[in-house]
Homo-oligomer: A and B are copies of this chain.
Amino acid sequence: MSPKITTELLKQLRQVMKSPKYVQEPVQAYIVPSGDAHQSEYIAPCDCRRAFISGFDGSAGTAIVTEQHAAMWTDGRYFLQAAHQMDNNWTLMKMGLKDTPTQEDWLVSVLPEGSKVGVDPFIIPADQWKRMSKALRSAGHDLVPVKENLIDTIWTDCPQRPCKPLITLDLSYTGVSWRDKIVALRSKMAERKVLWFVVTALDEVAWLFNLRGSDVEYNPVFFAYAVIGMNTIRLFIDGDRMTDPAVREHLQLDSTLDPEFKIQVMPYGSILSELQAVGAGLSPKEKVWLSDKASYALTEAIPKAYRYLTPYTPICIAKAVKNASETEGMRRAHVPKGTVTEIIAADKAEEFRSQQKDFVELSFATISSTGPNGAIIHYKPVPETNRTLSVNEIYLLDSGAQYKDGTTDVTRTMHFGTPSAYEKECFTYVLKGHIAVSAAIFPNGTKGHLLDSFARSALWDCGLDYLHGTGHGVGSFLNVHEGPCGISYKTFADEPLEAGMIVSDEPGYYEDGSFGIRIENVVLVIPAETKYNFKNRGSLTFEPLTLVPIQTKMIDVNLLTQKECNWVNDYHQKCREVIGAELERQGRHEALRWLIQETEPLIRVQ
């Protein structure tokens, strides 16, 4: 992987930062966040502005360019990757390390007095704008919205915004009709005494209307906003997608519905002016509900006194708790229905996945990495780095797919030869952490971040750790990363875990220059049986939905407790039963033999 040469691009950007054509006054710094106007984690190629200007294309990062400097903030998952992809024009700011300045502190330290810092108001979330604007103002600088995106002005071959056909999902997949979802949403609005709700996150629009798209790779979403009133529904969406008869039928666009379920379709680009019109027409006490992560531009469209902002929207919370149809779908999606260089292995995995019933696309770029590439946490193989799998190196495969009945995400770490004692030791600690979370029992109302240390305890005891969270929420044929729950030391504002939520359990260990280990299952939050049941408060635990053998060759059985050993054996027994039965039914005897061999019970000698 050679770095992108950005000298010329930075020169052009610094010119437009001073050009009266684009800015009222010159800006001394320009912020390039990684999001799009919907604060999506995964973004369309036309929104990859930070990757365009810097070369660094990981999923998280913020670039800031001043007249003299160019700096990139990213987290532990991407330290290695960013260092490889950026040239010497860039300074890497390693977030989470003690001596790394925040963006605000760094700006204050490098800017001349009374500077203006520009940012695209559609890309920056309102909460970030507020924090940064305050910090800059108190140091005598100003954060200013720059309407025209300055990266777009120099990005001559910027791809078009995608506008792909939609998929309609019927009740057998979603369990609840879009009309019933609107009814439930309006009742939440009435509870909070708000008159309008603005849907800005792409997966929330998709979930609300039981529609899916493919505008963003891996995430089955489409570019749209919605504004829901107590008697009106406005959907802002472009292209001829609303002429598709299946979509018209699904949304009942041509039926003479109760007026409160009549969807008004409007151009995607008209959201700002429509929202400004809503804002201008409000009387005192009439409120508009927005996520506090909605863009600064849309948030500003509603006068401050009329805004009702929350970190998690009612759609986000409803979406996280999967109903019976969705849970059953997720179970089906994890069972087969239908080996090498890193790329061939990844392609093969995709090929196998694509033969499954209800397959739509991958849920993220497959991470197929061997040896030292495994230590790059979000590594994606490309021809320059492609390594041959060997019997001497650990191989890590993190892959997932979008099926109409669910979203999968699984990581397994394997050795095709004889692993070293140290590799087995590290693998076994990671496994102990995986089991500690998966088997944890905890009272109703517990937030996921309180479970994060369980995953690390065995590693910590030996002085090892990993620089990422332990788990993320998983959507139901939606984004593979979704809020409001997760298992991470980094979050505190997560919502409590509830039966029906689905998260990943994926501790790891990464040895720079040598190997990477991660063991990941998607798990469902379920009620637990306990002796005393928290005085009827109720208990929760996890049920693994992913059923893929964990390579026993990598396990140092003597580092496991009997309880942990039993967990592995019970898990493998379940893999045999559920997956084995399906393989048998399909007549896939070779695969079945492999499964039986890989799920032989562990025996602990003690």
Contacts and interface: CB of A to CB of B under 8 A. Distances in A.
Interface of A: 98, 138, 140, 284-285, 305, 440-443, 445, 450-454, 456-457, 460-465, 489, 492, 530-534, 537, 539, 561
11 contacts: A98-B445, A138-B305, A140-B284, A140-B285, A441-B460, A442-B456, A461-B530, A463-B533, A463-B539, A465-B534, A561-B561
A98 B445 CA distance: 8
Given A462-B530, A463-B539, 12 more contacts: A140-B284, A441-B463, A443-B463, A443-B465, A450-B452, A450-B453, A451-B453, A453-B453, A460-B530, A460-B539, A463-B531, A465-B537
A98 B447 CA distance: 13
A534 B463 CA distance: 5
B445 A460 contact: no
Most B CB contacts (10 A, CB to CB) among A453, A533, A534, A537 go to A453
A290 B443 CA distance: 39
Nearest to A452: B450
Contact of A462 (B453, B454, B531): B531
Contacts of A140: 284-285
Contacts of A532: 462-464
B460 A440 contact: yes
Nearest to A436: B457
A499 to B, nearest CB: 15
Nearest to A308: B138
Contacts of A539: 460, 463
Contacts of A445: 98
Contacts of A442: 453, 456, 460
Contacts of A305: 138
B457 A440 contact: yes
Contacts of A489: 450
A525 to B, nearest CB: 14
Nearest to A531: B462
Contacts of A463: 441, 443, 530-534, 539
A442 B285 CA distance: 50
Nearest to A307: B138
Contact of A461 (B98, B441, B456, B461): B441
Nearest to A426: B532
Nearest to A530: B463
Nearest to A96: B445
Nearest to A456: B442
Contacts of A464: 532, 534
Contacts of A537: 465
A380 to B, nearest CB: 25
A440 B532 CA distance: 27
A441 B460 CA distance: 6
What are the 3 tightest A-B residue pairs by CB atom distance, in nearest-first order?
A: A463-B530, A492-B492, A463-B532
Nearest to A461: B441
A206 B533 CA distance: 47
Contacts of A450: 452-453, 489
Nearest to A442: B460
Contacts of A451: 453
A457 B452 CA distance: 12
A456 B465 CA distance: 22
A440 B140 CA distance: 46
A443 B460 contact: yes
A140 B287 CA distance: 13
A492 B451 CA distance: 14
Contacts of A530: 460-463
Contacts of A284: 140
Contact of A454 (B453, B492, B533, B534): B453
Contacts of A452: 450
A474 to B, nearest CB: 22
A559 to B, nearest CB: 12
Contacts of A561: 561
B460 A457 contact: no
Nearest to A540: B460
A534 B509 CA distance: 11
A443 B530 CA distance: 32
A284 B137 CA distance: 12
Nearest to A454: B453
A144 to B, nearest CB: 19
Contacts of A138: 305
Contacts of A440: 457, 460
Most B CB contacts (10 A, CB to CB) among A450, A492, A532, A561 go to A532
A428 to B, nearest CB: 13
A488 to B, nearest CB: 11
A298 to B, nearest CB: 19
Nearest to A445: B98
Contacts of A465: 443, 534, 537
A496 to B, nearest CB: 8
Contacts of A456: 442
Contacts of A98: 445
A310 B391 CA distance: 55
A454 B454 CA distance: 7
Contacts of A533: 463
Nearest to A539: B463
Nearest to A422: B532
Most B CB contacts (10 A, CB to CB) among A450, A463, A534, A539 go to A463
Contacts of A457: 440, 454
A462 B441 CA distance: 8
Contacts of A453: 442, 450-451, 453-454
A430 to B, nearest CB: 14
Nearest to A447: B489
